[in-house]
Chains A and B, each alone.
Chain A
Amino acid sequence: MAGQSPHVGLFVTCLVDLMRPSVGFAAVKLLQAAGCAVTVPAAQTCCGQPAYNSGDDEDARAIARRVIAAFEGFDYVVAPSGSCAGTIKVHYPRLFAGDTDMAKRAEDLARRTHELTSFLNDVLQVTDSKAEYRAKVTYHDTCSGLRELAVKTAPRALLGGVKGVELAESGGAETCCGFGGTFCVKYPDISGHMVDAKADDVIASGADVLLGGDLGCLLNIAGRLKRRGAAVGVRHVAEVLAGMTGGPAIGEGEG
């Protein structure tokens, strides 16, 4: 692959696709700036995690089969989400544990799949950034990214290259925000308390902006901060790294 630009298939993720497409474009920009050729397979919808985490293995497998097929042949598959990348990387092989042929294909995809910041930092070893973002930010380590993929230093290293960013770590950066996919709608009272504690922690950090790498968590935290009337913006880390922070932060209006 030396000398050639790596061909990356972008796994957009369903939440970015539906809720915040700008994160997808930020990811494309970052990957292209790092010298990748980016393709977005049209046959993608979701990684299947909602089915997988709900015990619906049959649908999870059916969806996984499509993802595996859609992303065959790329040098790398990159997702702007630790959660979706984790599903593909860690859980797809488990889903097909009893099926040698599919397991092999799942393993192959797993090997090629990366979370966005980890791919940029650890695989491509991107160091320079042309972005500038004058803000005091705090970083939320999303659970799947942190614990399934060990994404911890990559986003911080990349943010270190962004001019103007001041990082204010919060005490509970690694504590779950209470999103948990379907958890937040199945157990809204518990989830509500958890995200409230997360909001306390974010506010206590003194940051102007909370960044993270998973839109599910960010929607959850932004929604709670907004409900509390807190003046902390929430953005996906890709937006800042790509210098695409012109639009409103998550949950903020244009008006």
Chain B
Amino acid sequence: MESTSRTFEDNARKALIDADLRRALTKLGHGFPVKRRMAVERLPEFEGLRDAARAIKEDVLENLDFYLERFEERVVEQGGQVHWCVDAAEANQAVLAICQEAGARTVTKSKSMIGEEIAINEHLEANGITPVETDLGEYIIQLRGEPPSHIIAPAIHLSMDQVTETFRQCHDGLAADRELSEPRDLLEEARAILRQKFLAADVGITGANMLIAETGSVAVVTNEGNADLTMTLPRVHVVIASLEKVVPTLEDATTILRVLARSATGQETSVYTTFASGPRRPGDSDGPEEFHVVLLDNGRGAMLGGDFHDVLRCIRCGACLNHCPVYGTIGGHAYGWVYSGPIGAVLSPGLIGLEEAGHLPNASTLCGKCEEVCPMRIPLPKMLRHWRTRQFDRDLVPPASRAALKGWAFLAKRPALYRAATGLAMRLLGALGRRRGAFRRMPLAGGWTAARDLPAPEGATFMAQWSRRKGARP
């Protein structure tokens, strides 16, 4: 998809006056985080599991080539195929080639962030193949031509009325006066339509929550069961996954699963966790005849061992979004690309360029809540700072901000000068503001005073008063 991250500020402003979005975000804030906390409180080992999960991924990253090769061996032994793709274009081409080989006209898809990252739907459509998203939320936003606004709840920004309107517009051949006033009505309609799509699809494309090196299995987690119908009914199953999704064993996958759902939705576990290993076997009465894993690098290999190494542990649970006060204020679309929230602010600059996504690492208070809840203990604030450093070093900071910062730093490095300048300024401001105690407006501080008063300084600085009283140590 085309990024709109450059216009982040405008996007955010629009989000702030979108009443439906505001309602949805308020509900989100009272939903997932509360459920997560309850799930965590029920499991005394949760913190230990986070450490274990982190350790598993660190072992994986250290031996990534080994585990990927082993994964591929197992897939091939079971009659499947692994397609190694360096970038999005190669991955798109690989998926298209498989679909074309299969003579596919429609493909069903279960939710995949990698699918969003490489924009596989656009590529298939451009080549005459119709992709149908089957996760309910993903289906709704596909009908509306929107990107997901949340990693695990892609249509979280929409109200029921908006969904109703979309279904009335897009679902042809149904009675115009049909009842669509309850979420249940909408679900039933989507279920009936998508059931037919599942049965008719030539190829099913799923993402992967994990790839198991030990068994050559692909682990896919859903609550709806859509991934299972996607991978079991069509003749061909294509998995698109990025390479850091590999884990060594089923036991390791289990450890990660134990923190995944609890962190994401606060469920003890998701309804369906499926381990798919290769195509249909002798005697099987169902299952795909072909099994392909499209393995995407897209810059990830190069991140190993560098400033952004830790982000490769991400399991896409969405906890950082659910708990981020900035995401909770503006929602996902404002971020302007596939990944939103703290994880998006870390991933996007690497994937679409720091020039394009430069706002995102800055649009954070660095409050640290994301790191606090991240099941994989990814130090997201530290990585946001890494991007800021690169921006500063590459001169991508607006000249006015840079000049202000440099001017301040010049003073901050010269205590005597700093003291003279600030002492005078504070005495002046203190005198001006003493009576009311705060300023409603202040030159050069319009950003601050737009929403709040600026409390006035007391007057003489601490250092001035202190040196008068005590005589300071030099």
Contact = CB atoms under 8 A, between A and B. Distances in A.
Chains A and B in contact, CB within 8 Å: yes
Interface of A: 12, 14, 16-22, 24-25, 39-46, 48, 50-57, 59, 62-63, 66, 94, 143-144, 146-148, 174-176, 178-197, 219-220, 222-224, 226-227, 247-248, 250-255
Contacts of B440: 227
Contacts, number: 229
Given A56-B392, A189-B16, A192-B450, A176 B385 contact: no
A55 B412 contact: no
A48 B412 contact: yes
A21 B409 contact: no
Contact of B16 (A175, A176, A181, A190): A190
Closest 8 CB pairs of A and B: A180-B365, A192-B451, A223-B452, A55-B388, A253-B437, A55-B392, A188-B447, A21-B462
B438 A187 contact: no
A248 B461 CA distance: 16
A44 to B, nearest CB: 7
Contacts of A176: 325, 365, 367, 369
Nearest to A218: B455
Contacts of A251: 437-438, 453, 455-456
A57 B389 contact: yes
Nearest to B470: A40
A173 B332 CA distance: 24
9 contacts: A21-B460, A56-B405, A59-B412, A62-B413, A63-B409, A143-B369, A178-B329, A182-B401, A223-B438
Nearest to B30: A171
B452 A147 contact: no
Contacts of B448: 184-185, 188, 223
- Decide if the interface of chain A is mainly helix, strand, loop or mixed: helix
Contacts of A254: 434-435, 437
A32 to B, nearest CB: 12
A63 B413 CA distance: 6
Nearest to B388: A55
A137 B404 CA distance: 37
Contact of B392 (A19, A54, A180, A190): A54
B363 A253 contact: no
B350 interface: no
B327 to A, nearest CB: 10
A50 B364 CA distance: 14
Contacts of B397: 54-55
Interface residues of B, number: 73
Contact of A190 (B329, B369, B391, B463): B329
Contacts of A183: 362-366
A37 B241 CA distance: 61
B268 interface: no
B466 A147 contact: no
Interface in B276-327: 325-326
B390 interface: yes
B27 to A, nearest CB: 14
A119 to B, nearest CB: 18
Contacts of B413: 45, 59, 62-63, 66
B368 A147 contact: yes
Contacts of A39: 473
Contacts of A16: 462
A41 B445 CA distance: 30
A174 B372 CA distance: 12
B415 interface: yes
A144 B16 CA distance: 26
B461 A21 contact: yes
Contacts of A57: 389, 392
Given A43-B415, A54-B397, A195-B452, A147 B372 contact: yes
B466 to A, nearest CB: 5
A25 B409 contact: no
B458 interface: yes
Which of A25, A43, A188 has the most chain B CB within a 10 Å cutoff? Answer: A188
Interface in B1-41: 9, 12-13, 16
B465 interface: yes
Given A59-B412, A147-B369, 4 more contacts: A19-B457, A57-B392, A178-B329, A193-B16
Contacts of B78: none
Contacts of B392: 54-57
